[in-house]
Amino acid sequence: MVTGMVLPDLNLPNKHFVPEQFRADFPALHSESVYLDSAATALKPQVMIDATFAYYAQNTATAKRSLYQDALQVTTTIDKARQNVADLIHANSSTEIIWTRGATESINLIAQSYARPLLQPDDEIIVSELEHHSNLLPWLIVAKQTGAKVIKWSSDIDELSSLLSAKTKIVAITQMSNVTGFCPDLATISHIVHQHNAVLVVDGAQGIVHHALDVQQLNIDFYAFSAHKLYGPTGLGVLYGKPVLLKQMSVWHGGGKMLKSASFDDFIQEDIPYKFEAGTPNIAGILGFNATLQWLKSWDNKQAENYTKQLADYAKSQLNQLTDIQFYSVDSSPIITFNINNIHHNDIAILLSEQNIAIRTGELCAQPLMNKLGCHGAIRLSLMPYNNQQDVDKFILELQSAIEILV
């Protein structure tokens, strides 16, 4: 019997999506504030908070090292979490799942462990203009290191076919833009990319929250996302990779538990995924994320997403009644990005903040896309199933008041 560590009961029955019940699981919403910045980071359900608290309050055992019962329980739960992630994205095995510090580190790991040994001068990496800096800068860095070239791609599928060549080694694309909410056709893109024997890297940081994905069906080579955008903790990320690619990759970080043996002459690395997980993992984060993934199984996520889209459509219909508004986001997206002509986006954010309304403004970590859109920043509200019409109505009311002050 395991002693000293009590985790919350996560054997929750499957149920339909009920907005009020879903919202009640988020303690941060039990206030007068309105949270509309979920594309930056999602709020956390009580089960995640409880699981994290239980680890720190009742057990500080580490994983994959000690043999006492609490330590073994922690290791078992981390293994379950890895399998839950594999199930979430339909990976073939949990060994294809690597823990990282976030989507950013996951993509940097691909760039340094897979791409850097592979790339030769004049090889090409195609990167779409939709990308967050986390799916652009790692490729610029590795291109400088190897003499390869980063090729700009508009995300148009016809253009992709014309850009691909024998020089193309990697194509990097987001699952969902954090600026426009646009979701590329990954099935068609994957088919075209693999016809040219290139590797497809997908940044799922925004997309996994709203759209279920099957990495096997889509034939994705690498897939990265962060836990904190999927109701989980910060400082934890996932990298999925095809085993044939992961096995050929060199290790990036050295340290404890990523090796089988070591001497002053050399070392023998562990098998995948452990060879990429040097040092003590983010144990509390993984346990909290495992609780989150178990909790997500108790909701009908398709119903939740449909509800969010309806809420987004309502929000946009209200915004459309304003004058001098310019939209940058696609329709029926939980991400709505816009500007009010002749008013600086940050001025809007400051006035809304005074009314306890949280939104995001600025370049949204996507400067090249902002330049293409012809702006130097924008207002972004991002919705999740825990939002409701009252949130939107308060946002619209206070936005109108801010505009009246600023014009």
In this predicted model, what pLDDT tens digit does every residue of 239-283 receive, in sequence order? 999 999 999 999 999 999 899 999 999 999 999 999 999 999 999
Residue 232 Cα distances to 38, 43, 108, 373, angstroms = 12, 8, 21, 32
Q: How high is the pLDDT of residue 308?
A: 98
Residue 8 Cα distances to 38, 228, 285, 294, 316, angstroms = 25, 20, 15, 11, 39
Q: How high is the pLDDT of residue 71?
A: 84
Looking at residue 30, its amino acid is H
Backbone angles phi, psi at 80, to 5 degrees: -65, -40
Which of 275, 280, 292 is closest to 61 using CA atoms?
280
Token duo for residue 120: 């030769």
Q: How high is the pLDDT of residue 14?
A: 52
Catalytic residue among 36, 364, 365, 378: 365
pTM of the predicted protein model: 0.94
Q: How high is the pLDDT of residue 135?
A: 98
CA distance 288 to 170: 33
Q: How high is the pLDDT of residue 212?
A: 86
Report pLDDT digits (tens) over 366-393. Answer: 999 999 999 999 999 999 999 999 999 9
Low-confidence ranges of the chain (pLDDT < 50): 1-13
Q: How high is the pLDDT of residue 7?
A: 39
Beta-strand pair 237-241/97-100: antiparallel
Residue 183 annotated to the active site: no
